[in-house]
A and B are shown apart, each in its own frame.
Chain A
């Protein structure tokens, strides 16, 4: 007994270390991405505040580039608006009878968008995350899709009152059903962890024809509307499976420079989910 006590006292610092290491490993294994506690992530108030400050500073530095992109986008939208207006005028001239149609009004759009600003990115290892400055106070909740002006960014993983953590395409936990633009066969986009800008489109039937440069769009998904750009095909990679192809896809979103994102609020998400769950 005396020896045991002496042993404990002599090695007490090692015991403390062992206890702390055990606590750490408990954290590693218990906080897997879906049960992540808001308290211990960058959606937390203090870390969120620091990242917010740093994000604002870098956003200021990038203003020039963002401004230019916005102007380009603006011009593009203006052109589109003009084209649509012309088209509409043509249609009205064509068929005056449609004026007789007395529909209620335009049905409310299913999707609305919450603009948010990226305040932190972590792209140095396999555990990639993006933190943005909108949270549940602004209507953001987990499982909402996130897009940039170029294409899909990721999915909201967790949100606190004013910050949210997004799990991007380039995280091994991300999966999204997708298809090639000129076909309706569905595959699945995921990331193998090798290169930041390149994801993999797998489970695509072998008979599917593709060209490098083909556009990859979202397919049936509870999270994203159909036909949002994910990226562009680079080429085929060797696949172990005989009946399926795997393609390398250049992701449309540039994760190094993404600053402004839109979070997609799907008004019928709950309804659809409830209905689908009710039959299981």
Chain B
């Protein structure tokens, strides 16, 4: 954990929160699909980052999004659960004992990264929309929202990741 990479992560955190609450949450394609990009922060944490760090930053990320969107707890719960499962999902697609500071990215191994992203986003959106739908609304509309929003989010993440400069090697 170098100080520089921590600083970069903090910056990413702020940018993603602002992007989510000021721009993306006002987009609802066909009134259904909302891009939920902030999960990209968890996806891009280095491989060897401790589970505590991942889970607590996931919780804080969700909580701050909640405070902005007037949905106390919803995003926090979904994001914490995804953060807890991140280690398991990573081990599914990436070989173990990889270089600790490796940041999952489309430039290093495209296939694994796509699978990893799809799993993380689907998990997150499923949890999020079901928590949101606890109180009302029917199953079909919730499922349609999960699928459309996931597709939009995955597309955005992959596009963003292809654009990003190759910081993975440097850490």
Contacts and interface: CB of A to CB of B under 8 A. Distances in A.
Chain B binds chain A: yes
Interface of A: 12-14, 16-17, 20-21, 23-29, 31, 36-37, 40-42, 44, 47, 50-51, 54, 121-127, 129, 165, 172, 193, 195-196
Contacts of A20: 55-56, 59, 76, 80
Given A17-B80, A17-B84, A195-B31, A123 B72 contact: no
A96 B20 CA distance: 66
| Listed residue (A13, A54, A127) with the most chain B CB atoms within 10 angstroms of its CB | A13
A131 to B, nearest CB: 8
| Listed residue (A28, A31, A50) with the most chain B CB atoms within 10 angstroms of its CB | A28
Contacts of B73: 23-29, 31
A54 B22 contact: yes
Contacts of B70: 36, 41-42, 122, 127, 129, 165
A197 B108 CA distance: 46
A50 B21 CA distance: 10
Contacts of B77: 21, 24-25, 28
B160 interface: no
B26 interface: yes
A24 B136 CA distance: 19
Given A16-B56, A124-B28, A21 B80 contact: yes
B1 interface: no
A50 B19 CA distance: 12
Nearest to A44: B67
Nearest to A172: B136
A158 to B, nearest CB: 9
Given A14-B84, A195-B31, A40 B55 contact: no
Contacts of B69: 42, 122, 127
B34 interface: yes
B31 A196 contact: yes
Given A24-B76, A28-B131, A124-B26, 4 more contacts: A17-B80, A121-B26, A122-B25, A127-B132
A126 B132 contact: yes
A20 B134 CA distance: 19
Contacts of B56: 16, 20
Interface string B1-29: 00000000000000000100110011110
9 contacts: A16-B52, A23-B59, A24-B76, A27-B66, A36-B70, A41-B72, A47-B68, A172-B135, A172-B136
Given A122-B25, A193-B137, A13 B51 contact: yes
B81 interface: yes
B91 interface: no
B121 interface: no
A27 B28 contact: no
A33 to B, nearest CB: 9
Contacts of A26: 73
B164 interface: no
B46 interface: no
